[in-house]
Amino acid sequence: MAVHYCGLCRRTSFSGRRHLYSAAHRRRLQEALARLQEEVAAARAAAAAAAAEEDDEEGDGGVAVRPYDPAEHDRRVWCLCCGRGVRRDGRRGGLALPQAGLLQHLAGAEHRRETARFWRENRAEAALRERFLVPAEEYERFARALERALAAHQRREEERIRQMAAGIREAERRQRETVQAALQVGEPYPALAAPRRGAGTGLRAPTGTGCAGGAGWRGAGGGGLFSIPETLSLFPESYSASNGARALRGTFG
């Protein structure tokens, strides 16, 4: 009795290769091929849309280039013929290229060889095999459209950066004009005529100078001269109309 292991059904059959013609094997084969065919059809539709835009010189190639998101664009498609997972989307720097990875795999020579082997081993319908392959010419047109889409995206990014730089320069120009206009108005507050004196500045009589002669008094901090009325105004609590002269002599005598 021949023993045969079927990788598709994941079971060992003791009927040999006759298992490949059984109803259970044919049903599992059709279900697996249907799942793969959905992915292949979506990839070929993207390639067809890109090819339709190839003759448009003003277009962007018909390929939607998007920012790369690992949660969305790291998805893999199980290739039943090759027995391994294939990355669906391609990547170029920080950009994701939808369907580029799967299309490249379907157009490769390795996938074509493995598809022929799978069809032969599983006795699949020969007329369906071409549905799971991408012609080299079709992929080349998609690759050209993809390069055009990347170039168009780069132009848009450069234009956006130029607009941002122009906006920054305009904001700086308005700021400079505002500052210059404020400076041209003049001093916002009048300058103080009298010199400033810090706290604790006292008065002392200059050498060889007396109050009787009408000379002024110099501050200890090196300030300007003060007349007697100005000195009286500094100490209003020490003077009155009746004893001003006597208080003055008591203070500076």
pLDDT in tens, 99-134: 999 999 999 999 999 999 999 988 888 899 999 999
pLDDT in tens, 61-85: 567 788 899 888 889 999 999 999 9
pTM for this predicted structure? 0.61
Candidates 202, 223, 201, 205; CA nearest to 215 is 205
Sign (positive/negative) of CA torsion 77, 78, 79, 85? positive
Residue whose structure tokens are 């369907």: 99
Find all residues with CB under 8 Å of 82, minimum gap 6, and list them.
105, 110, 111, 114
Token digits of residue 109: 């020579």
Candidates 126, 104, 103, 100; CA nearest to 115 is 126
- Distance spanning both ends of the chain, measured CA to CA: 139
Contact (CB, 8 A) for 132 and 37: yes
